[in-house]
Structure 1
Amino acid sequence: MANGYFTPFTEGLLDASIDLDTAVIKVALVRGYTFSASHKFVSDVTTAGGTINGTSAALANKTVTGGVFDADDTTISATANATNHGLLLFQSSAVTGGADVAATAQRVIAWYDTGTGLPIQPGTGTVTITWPASNPKILKVG
């Protein structure tokens, strides 16, 4: 298990196909996935064996300051499953925001399965995702 950023995420920052403060950013509970830095879309994660077991609403009060991305803590409604779950951070909309696009166009950003509270063992109901209060917060570039 390993946390990591997807290589196409960093490319997306450079070519403006990913915009952390304008696009809709969400987090999903995923089980059965082995991280691959080369994955670009949510559909790559599910094709590689990942099963999504709940997705948050759009992250609220996003900030991008000093190379650090942060937002309010969030919740995910999940079905009971005792299997280990990691967190998939992804851009669910077009770069300009708006409605969710197809999973084949939703850009993956980061994978978290190691750290305090991870992996997650969800029960039926709500899982609270509490982002770190200090750097790197949700993520730090650079």
Structure 2
Amino acid sequence: MRRYRHLSAEERDRIAEMHARHEGVSAIAAAIGRNKSTVSREIARNGRNGRYGAIAAQSRSDARRKACRPRKRLSDPALAAEVRRRIVDDRRSPEQIDGRSRLERGGRCVVSFSTIYRAVNAGEPAYSEGGIRAVSARYDSRSSS
């Protein structure tokens, strides 16, 4: 069984060109070496008003791929500052920060303790200054073994 590949920009160009000439889905699929259901789905997903544009289809595909990636939780500067403040000023452990945030938000997790540990251990900029690694190291049982 062949491994799945996303349609390339060149394949989308070929689909647009052949679709504009009113060629059938089977003919387009044979020309680009894809299954006709793939071509049919592509035209249905990215076609507008019976027309298919390769450039617009490629940009929509790129946008969908970018949107599906999980965002970094601590990329929000306000949240990162709050976590940093709680570790350095309040001398709270990541577990305590996680638990408190769940209490304050009715059980909904905003940032987990493992995310905080990952950010600290990765040396992310918000955590690299001010000795935050030293403060949080006393809580990290994984680093003491």
- Please indicate, yes or no, whether the TM-score normalized by the shorter chain is above 0.5: no
TM-score normalised by structure 1 residue count: 0.21
TM-score normalised by structure 2 residue count: 0.21
Look at both structures and tell me which one has the larger radius of gyration over its CA atoms: 2
> Which of 1 and 2 has higher RCO (CA within 8 Å, sep 6+)?
1
Normalized per residue, which structure has more strand? 1
